[in-house]
Structure 1
C-alpha cells in the first residue's frame, strides 16, 4: 500500500498560528491554503523571521528605519563566532543595515532560532502523528493491519525519507527535529525511527515503493505499508527494516 500524505494543507485549531503566520498567508497567492506548509517549509521560514523583525523595527528603534528582509535565516542562526561577524556581513551586504550593534545581532539570531525550532517541532509532531496512526509511536494503538512491535516485543523500525534543502542544508533544523522526536516518542521508540535524505521526487519514490511492494507480495506473500508525505517529508516503512531493534542499539 502506498499513501501520499499531502500534509502541506493540514489544518487544526491546535496549531500555534501567530499573527505573523496570518500576515504571511495574506501575502501569498494561495491564501487560506497550505497552512501547515507555510509554518514548516524552508520556502517560508525566512519570511516569518522577517515579519517578526519588521514588527520589532516598527515598535522600537532597534533597527532604525530599516525593514529586515532575510532569506538568510540558516546562515544567521548558524553563525557561532563570538562577534557574530557573519550576521553583520549579511546585514550589511544583503539587507543594507550598516553598523548593527552586537546586541541587535544577537536578537536577530534569537528570532531565527525561535522560528527554526518551531518549524522543526511542528514537523516532528506531524511525523509522530503518522507513527501513531501506524501504531508505531509506542502507544499500542495501531491501524488495521499494522503493529508497532516485532515478534520479540521490540519496536519495529520505520524509515522516514526526507527531501528538500531545509533538512539537507540546515544542521540546526535537523538537530531540533531529532530533539523533538526524542521528546515526543521517548528513547526506545525514537531510536527505531530512521530519518533518511532522499533526492528523488515523491512520484518516483511512490512508484518504486509500489513496485517493491508488489514484488514482495508475489515472492513472500508479505504485507507492508509505505507512507509518502509530500516534498519535505516522505515516509517509507521499508521491508528490510521490519526486524526489531536489537537490544542496546542506539
Structure 2
C-alpha cells in the first residue's frame, strides 16, 4: 500500500473517530435532557399523587368536618373549627325597604356600597365602589386601616349626593370575631396575610365607629357580620330555601342556619328564636385524610408559622393557589432545566397569582399561547417549549381540582350537619326521599368561584359525586355575579 493510500485510510479513521465522538456526545446530551425532563415530570407526578381526592376520601373529609362542627357547638376550644355564634336569629325575607350603607372588608381590597331596597325582594338601586388596601396597611395600625375605610365611605356618600343621618350601616368583617351583640365583636385573630397585632382583642365595630367620628360622619355600625353570614342573608333575601352560604374567594368560609337547641355552648347569647346563624370558620379545619404536600408546607415554614394554621383555607382559597403552583414550578426548576436559566422570579413568594393560574388552566389555544404569555410577563421565563407549557397547565389543574373538591366536601359536611345530605347522621345508611323533595339552596360568593369556570365545574361535579344523583337533584348552588368584581379579578392579569 502506497503512502497516499495509507494517508487516506488514516484520514478516514480519524473522521470515523470524530463522527463516533460527536454521535456519542449527542446521545449523552439527549440522555441527559431526557433524564432532566423525567425529573421535572416526577415532581409533577408527586404533586398529583399528594393532591389526590377520590370520592371515598372526600366522604371521609365530610364526616370529619361534620364531627368537628358538632364539637364546636358543644363547647369553646373543643374543635378545630370555631363555630362562632353570630347573634343573627332572623334573616331578610324580601319585605325590607329603605336606603342602607355597607362596608365589606376581608381581603386585598374593600367595598363601600349604597343599597336601596323595595318590598318584594326588589333592589331598586345599588352602587358599589372598590378600594385597594396597600400592603403596609395590612400590617400597620388599626387606626390607619379604619381611617382609610371611613374616609372612603365619606367620599362615596358625598359623590352619591346622599345623607348619612339616620342611615343603617352594615359592616362585613371577614375575619374571626367573637360577638356579644349584633353590632359589636372582638377580633380573635387575623387571617389572609393581615397582621395588625394591636387590633387583636379589640371591638372592630367600635374601631370603625371611632374612625367615622374622626372623619365627620354621622353613622354608626348597626350590624357586624362575617361575609359568609352576609352572603347567607343575601341568599335568603332572594330564596327562602337558602340554608347555608359559602365564600370562595381570597379566603374561604361558610355559615349556615342552625337549630338553637343544637347549640349547647354560650346559651346566654341565644335569643328566643328557634334558629341561629353560625359562622363555621372552616378555614382552620385540618382534614386528617388529606396529606399536606411539600408545597403546602413550604411557604408556612418560610413564614415561621405552624404547618397546620388555616390548612383548609390554604388548600382552597385564592390567596394561596397561585403560590402553591409557584412552589411546584420552582421545584421543577431546581430538579431540571425545563425553564432554562431565567428562573430568578420563581423564587419570589406570591409573585404568581391565582388569576394567572386560572388564565393558564383555561387556555384552550392549540399552542397554549396564553400560558407562554403568562410565564413571560409574570415570571420572565421566555421561549418555553409546548410540552413544558402542557406540564405547567397540568400543575395548575391539579391545584385547582384539589381545592374545588375540598370545598365541595365542606359544603356537603354542612348539609350533613343539618340533615340535608341524604344520610342517616353521616352513616352509610341512605335516607330515602319520601314525598316532595325538600330544596336545599347554598349561596356562594367570591371571585375564585364566580370568575374561574374550571373551579366551578370541579366543585359542582364533586358535590354530585358525594351526594349521589337522588339527593343532588334537590341541591341548588346559587351565586350572584357582580360584573365589576369579576372584571377586577380578570384584569389583575390581563
TM-based fold match above 0.5: yes
CA 1:28 to 1:180, structure 2 compared with 1: closer, same or farther past 3 Å? Answer: farther
Q: Distance in 2 between matches of 1:160 and 1:149?
A: 21
CA distance in 2, matches of 1:128, 1:154: 21
Q: In the alignment, is residue 46 of structure 1 matched against residue 322 of structure 2? A: yes
Matches within 5 A, 1:192-231: 192-198=474-480
Aligned match of 1:136 in 399, 420, 423?
A: 420
Paired position in structure 2 for 1:173:
455
Counterpart for residue 35 of structure 1: 311
Name the residue aligned to 1:228: none
Deviation at 1:28, TM superposition (A): 4.4
* Alignment check: 8 A CA contact 1:149 1:155 kept: no
- What is the TM-score normalised by the length of structure 1? 0.72
Q: Are 2:285 and 1:10 equivalent residues in the alignment?
A: yes
* CA 1:105–1:78: 2 relative to 1, 3 Å: same
Provide runs of 4+ in structure 1 moved above 4 Å.
Answer: none
- For 1:185 and 1:10, the matched residues in 2 are separated by 21
Change (3 A) 1:29 1:4: farther
Q: Residue 368 of structure 2 aligns with which residue?
A: 84
Cα deviation for residue 130 of structure 1 reads: 1.4
> Alpha-carbon deviation of 1:44?
0.4
Which is richer in strand?
Answer: 2
How many residues align? The count is 194
How far apart, CA to CA, are the structure 2 residues paired with 1:28 and 1:191? Answer: 44
Deviation at 1:155, TM superposition (A): 3.7
Match of 1:188 among 470, 474, 485: 470
Larger Rg: 2
Shift of 1:128: 1.2
For residues 300 and 459 of structure 2, the distance between their equivalents in structure 1, rounded to whole angstroms, comes to 24
Shift of 1:15: 2.3
Aligned mates of 1:29, 1:153 — CA distance in 2: 55
Q: Scaled by the length of structure 2, what TM-score is found?
A: 0.37
Alpha-carbon distance in 1 for matches of 2:437, 2:336: 52
173-182 or 124-133, larger mean C-alpha shift: 124-133
Task: Find 1:26's aligned residue among 285, 292, 301.
Answer: 301
CA distance in 2, matches of 1:18, 1:11: 13
- Distance in 1 of aligned mates of 2:378 and 2:311: 29
**Do 2:287 and 2:312's aligned partners in 1 also have CA atoms closer than 8 Å?**
no
Gaps of 5+ in 2: 1-275, 483-494
